[in-house]
Amino acid sequence: MKLWFEDWFESEEYLKVYQHRNSEEAEILVSFILSQINLSAKAKVLDLGCGAGRHALLLAKRGFDVTGVDQSANLLSVAADEAQKNGLHATFIRDDIRTVNFNEKFDLILNVFTSFGYFETDEDNFSLFSNVESHLAHDGTFVFDFLNAENVRHNLTPFSKTEIGDMVIEQTRKIEGKNVIKEIALHQNGSVKNFRESVRLYSKEELITAINNSNLVVEMIFGSYTGESFDEKSSSRLILLCKKKK
């Protein structure tokens, strides 16, 4: 049975629906990350769950040696085309971010824009952290950017309707068990396409424990892409900057 993201991320409509999550938003996060860490000019960067390469391409523009990994051939094609069009050196690989293996270490590893919590079991989800630890350089930094589960639980918008050109987008959201579910109906030219998103709502404590269990330690916690302090009730994001345990 296909997992939800195998259909959704391969669709032509995915990037249209999320076009508001643009390069300007990615620039804010990338600039913030770089303000918090010291990366050498030739640092190696690994973006796990890179999607269409918004963050990877911005880091490549700054001269870093960037590798992006994702399971979506569709999104990787967009990323590779953008890199070529802009003369950027970045490598994009189709693989599972939990098990992809490199014979090198990275100075910065990213898992951002809620590219996590897509699988049925904790073991499957948390295996990402073990893979990160095995590829992180001794003094490297792992940046994990996830939704703030508590904020989602208290401020979920049950229904929204927007229009992009001749497409009407209806999104229905609910919490079902331990997951937040989004049903997406795309109305265009008299037809309807339906997609689904499902993300496990992990608390800050659950994530920190899992990260610690993977021989990593959380050094800084933020609640937004501009570096605001994390507040469990009001913060939109949970951003963890992690290092290897000494």
What is the per-residue DSSP string for 3-32? -HHHHHTTSSSHHHHTTTS-HHHHHHHHHH
What was the pLDDT predicted at 21?
Answer: 75
Residues 100 and 159 in one domain: no
Residues 159 and 227 in one domain: no
Residues 165 and 233 in one domain: no
Residues 164 and 236 in one domain: no
Q: With b meaning 16 or more CB within 10 Å and e meaning fewer, what string describes 34-59? A: eeebebeeebbbbbbbbbbbbbbbbb
Q: Any idea what the CATH number is for the domain that residue 178 is in?
A: 2.20.25
What was the pLDDT predicted at 145?
Answer: 98
3-state secondary structure 62-112: CCCEEEEEECCHHHHHHHHHHHHHCCCCEEEEECCCCCCCCCCCEEEEEEC
pLDDT tens for each residue of 32-68: 999 999 999 999 999 999 999 999 999 999 999 999 9
pTM above 0.85, yes or no: yes
- The rounded mean pLDDT for the chain is 96
Domain count for the chain: 2
What was the pLDDT predicted at 23?
Answer: 87
Residue 94: phi and psi, rounded to 5, are -90, 115
Instruction: Choose among 123, 145, 137: nearest CA to 50.
Output: 145
Residues 109 and 8 in one domain: yes
Contacts of 85 (CB under 8 A, 6+ apart): none
Res. 154: pLDDT tops 80: yes
167-176 sheet: strands from edge to edge: 159-164, 167-176, 179-188, 191-200
Residues 98 and 161 in one domain: no
Give the pLDDT mean for 130-149.
98
pLDDT tens for each residue of 7-21: 999 998 999 898 877
Res. 2: pLDDT tops 90: no
